[in-house]
């Protein structure tokens, strides 16, 4: 494993940890000062959860025998001293294999039986049903035993043709492509549908998830590879054999599954060691390698800098032997450096924006409540100061003001409650348009239109109409939320002007990133309804599985959009409730203060001093909050500062101790 790649991911983890600690400290400060509420705490908890669960998904894609498993061995298992994943000639990995690390579980190989295909459930749903998986302990301390355990991913079983057809491994309309059957008419199929390897590798511990795919163009290839797993990947490493270049089947995999996807793509020209020729010198062999790289780039339409010639076998051997010079000669470090240069900034940018938005929301919530306290403290201080040296006339004037404020409260409360009621009603209308049921009905309509079309030739048109209708749902929700925002701003301005509130409306969440994700899903799935893919639609159950996978992806988009709008509206509604409650408490507190002052005028000076101290404390608290937020925002925008995150001055938040407020 490249020290640079490991160090970079380690720095990324340290950076995320520093952000998480900074957010926790900010929340603790706001909570100690009673400037937080349940809504803000929920925002902070969600932000920290997303920081902690952030994953970087890297898929290794190729036809059979291109060296995917060997490359994964070189990257992740060389330190075990041997080849761990099966990587022998011919078909080795028979099912998708996912490598990750979950500290809550022991090292395990989890295997999902191929029979679960017949049930029609998605892989995401089956992950929530542990009873269906076969779990095998992974002996990480014994490399030989671990390699023996992982041989399970090669296992096949023999089934009848009818069973093969039900599982998607037999197509009567594509008879030439069906697998061979034995003398008894039985067909060999993979034993497992999916494999999960929970392995404590340093990279996996830091949030990397690796997907090892079997041949994507094979008959019976797992549908969720292309319908769910690949679309969720952040980057793909596409492997070719150096001696063969881009074959017809390689080109089909690229065009069908990777060519126009919205993800980072890296092309590996593996097995350059096979180009060694005793009749050629080193310069001639290097010229052959460069020529192959240029041809591959030209054929696939990628820049030469994204084609990496290497030898996974040599890299694994060098890693096992601890020979760094040989590892460099294998050219694997060049691929690691490219992954580092392309993927790390991308993930940092996403995480940084996420933290910035969340921290600003916490700051706004806390400072709004703090500002209301400062206003109330300033008013009380001004009134008490005006009473110095005055007699009963001033007390009478103060009482009149208090009664007027109480009357204002009685007038403003119904208006605030009415505004809240309108907000709840309009929010419900927006969320209805983003609910799962309208999306499910639109997907069902597309599926029905596809099924009813002659030879499925209307599938592309039905899919295009679905995209238009889904975009219309998002657009309508965005327009309605904009109308709600305008209504809130107008109502809040009026209430602030009439009653002195500090109501504010945070900018509504834009749905642009959900629209982009919807477009990405549409691009990724459009290939399955094209003319060249009609044979897939005629397969038994494919249209149903396609619709289920598509719906599961769309639900994430629409539920995410609904969640952000609902969270925004709840924050506004909660702010209304809070300011109403604070105004009620302020009136009550001022009544009590007036009574104490009225019966004990000798406590006036002490009350003024306490209020002045409280005012200074609140001002200092506002500065500390701003400093903490600024420090967090700087760290979020500068991942390079991760190494010093624990020493960042702004993250060592000072918590001023609250002082008792006494007016007598």
Measured over the CA atoms of residue 179, residue 184, residue 185 and residue 191, the dihedral's sign is negative
174-202 confidence digits (pLDDT tens): 666 677 778 788 888 889 989 999 998 87
Domain chopping of the chain, boundaries: 1-54+344-385+603-664, 55-155+191-330, 387-599
- Whether the CB-CB separation of 539 and 171 falls below 8 Å is answered with yes
- Segment among 8-22, 93-107, 284-298, 649-663 with least mean pLDDT: 649-663
Name the pairing type of β-strands 134-137 and 108-113.
Answer: antiparallel
Q: Is the pLDDT of residue 432 over 80?
A: yes
Mean pLDDT of the chain: 80
Reported residue count of the chain is 664
pLDDT for 228 beyond 80:
no
CA dist 433 and 166 (Å) reads 37
Cα–Cα distance measured from residue 304 to residue 190, given in angstroms and rounded to the nearest whole number? 37
Mean pLDDT value across residues 592-616: 70
pLDDT band at 33 (very low <50, low <70, confident <90, very high): confident
Do the bridges between strand 134-137 and strand 156-160 make them parallel or antiparallel, or are there none, so unpaired?
unpaired
| Distance of alpha carbon 614 from alpha carbon 544, whole angstroms | 65
pLDDT of 646 reads: 43
Query: 3-state DSSP: the chain helix, strand, coil percent, rounded to 5?
Result: 70, 10, 20
Q: Are 33 and 370 in contact (CB under 8 A)?
A: yes
Using alpha carbons, select from 320, 337, 333, 331 the residue that is nearest to residue 272: 331
Distance CA 600, CA 582 (A): 26
Of 394, 513, 517, 538, the closest CA to residue 453 belongs to: 538
Q: Which residue is listed with tokens 């705490």?
A: 41
Residue 227 has pLDDT above 60, yes or no: no
Residue 246 backbone phi and psi in degrees, to 5: -90, 105
| DSSP 8-state code for residue 227 | I
Measured from the Cβ of residue 521, the count of other Cβ atoms closer than 10 Å reads: 19
Which tens digits make up the pLDDT trace of 235-250? Answer: 889 999 988 888 888 8
pLDDT tens-digit readout, 472-513:
999 999 999 989 888 888 888 888 888 777 787 778 888 887
Q: Identify how many contiguous H helices and E strands the chain contains and give both numbers.
A: 21, 11
357 or 317: which carries more pLDDT confidence? Answer: 317
Q: Which residue has the tokens 């603790």?
A: 28
Question: Which has the higher per-residue pLDDT, 231 or 160?
Answer: 160
Q: What is the pTM of this model?
A: 0.61
* Fold that domain 55-155+191-330 belongs to in CATH: Rossmann fold (3.40.50)
Distance CA 265, CA 302 (A): 9
Strand locations in 509-633, DSSP E? Answer: none
pLDDT for residue 652: 33
pLDDT at 602 over 60: no
Cβ neighbors of 287 (< 8 A, separation 6 or more) are none
Q: Tell me the HSE value of 246 on the side-chain side, using a 13 A CA sphere.
A: 20
Task: Return the C-alpha torsion angle 585, 587, 588, 589, nearest 10.
Answer: 80
Higher pLDDT, 464 or 527: 464
Q: 51-55, 283-287, 409-413, 596-600 — which one is most confidently predicted on average? A: 283-287
């Amino acid at each position: 494993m490249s020290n640079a790649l490991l160090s970079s991911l380690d720095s990324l983890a340290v950076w995320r940890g520093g952000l998480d600690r900074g957010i926790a400290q900010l929340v603790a400060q706001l909570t100690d000062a009673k400037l937080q509420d349940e809504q803000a705490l929920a925002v902070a908890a969600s932000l920290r959860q997303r920081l902690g669960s952030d994953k970087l998904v890297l898929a290794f894609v190729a036809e059979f025998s291109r060296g995917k498993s060997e490359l994964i061995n070189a990257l992740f298992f060389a330190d075990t001293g041997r080849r761990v994943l099966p990587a022998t000639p011919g078909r080795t990995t028979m099912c998708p294999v996912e490598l990750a690390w979950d500290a809550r579980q022991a090292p395990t190989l989890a295997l999902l039986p191929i029979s679960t295909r017949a049930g029609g459930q998605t892989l995401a749903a089956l992950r929530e049903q542990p009873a269906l998986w076969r779990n095998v302990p992974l002996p990480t301390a014994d490399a030989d035993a671990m390699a023996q355990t992982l041989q399970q991913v090669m296992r096949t079983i023999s089934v009848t043709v009818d069973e093969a057809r039900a599982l998607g491994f037999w197509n009567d309309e594509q008879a030439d492509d069906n697998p061979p059957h034995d003398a008894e008419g039985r067909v060999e199929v993979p034993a497992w549908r999916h494999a999960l390897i929970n392995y404590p590798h340093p990279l996996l511990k830091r949030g990397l998830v690796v997907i090892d795919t079997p041949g994507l163009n094979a008959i019976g290839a797992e549908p969720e590879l292309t319908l769910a797993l690949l679309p969720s990947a952040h980057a793909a490493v596409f492997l070719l054999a150096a001696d063969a270049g881009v074959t017809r089947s390689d080109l089909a995999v690229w065009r069908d599954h990777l060519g126009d996807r919205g993800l980072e793509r890296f092309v590996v020209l593996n097995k350059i060691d096979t180009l060694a020729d005793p009749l050629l010198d080193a310069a001639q062999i290097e010229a052959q390698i460069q020529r192959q790289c240029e041809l591959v780039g030209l054929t696939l339409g990628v820049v030469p800098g994204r084609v990496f010639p290497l030898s996974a076998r040599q890299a694994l051997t060098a890693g096992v032997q601890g020979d760094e010079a040989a590892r460099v000669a294998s050219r694997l470090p060049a691929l690691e450096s490219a992954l580092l240069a392309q993927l790390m900034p991308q993930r940092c940018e996403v995480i940084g924006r996420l933290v910035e938005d969340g921290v600003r929301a916490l700051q706004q919530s806390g400072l709004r409540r703090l500002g209301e306290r400062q206003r109330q403290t300033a008013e009380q201080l001004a009134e008490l100061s005006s009473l110095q040296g005055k007699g009963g006339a001033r007390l009478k004037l103060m009482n009149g003001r208090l009664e007027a404020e109480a009357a204002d409260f009685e007038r403003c409360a119904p208006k605030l409650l009415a505004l809240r009621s309108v907000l709840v009603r309009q929010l419900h209308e927006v969320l209805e348009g983003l609910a799962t049921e309208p999306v499910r009905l639109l997907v069902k309509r597309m599926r029905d239109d596809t099924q009813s079309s002659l030879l499925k030739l209307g599938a592309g048109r039905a899919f295009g109409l679905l995209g238009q209708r889904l975009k219309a749902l998002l657009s309508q929700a965005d327009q309605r939320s904009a109308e709600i925002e305008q209504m809130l701003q107008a109502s809040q301005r009026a209430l602030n002007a009439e009653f002195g509130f500090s109501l504010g409306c945070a900018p509504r969440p834009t749905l642009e990133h959900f629209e982009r994700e919807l477009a990405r899903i549409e691009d990724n799935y459009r290939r399955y309804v094209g003319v060249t893919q009609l044979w897939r639609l005629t397969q038994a159950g494919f249209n149903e599985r396609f619709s289920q996978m598509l719906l599961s992806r769309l639900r994430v988009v629409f539920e995410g959009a609904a969640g952000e709008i609902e969270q925004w509206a709840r924050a506004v509604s909660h702010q209304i409730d809070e300011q109403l409650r604070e105004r009620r408490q302020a009136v009550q507190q001022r009544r009590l203060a007036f009574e104490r002052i009225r019966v004990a005028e000798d406590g006036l000076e002490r009350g003024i001093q306490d209020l002045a101290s409280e005012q200074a404390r609140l001002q200092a608290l506002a500065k500390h909050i701003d400093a903490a937020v600024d420090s967090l925002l700087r760290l979020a925008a500068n991942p390079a500062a991760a190494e010093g995150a624990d020493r960042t001055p702004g993250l060592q938040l000072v918590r001023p101790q609250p002082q008792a407020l006494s007016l007598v």
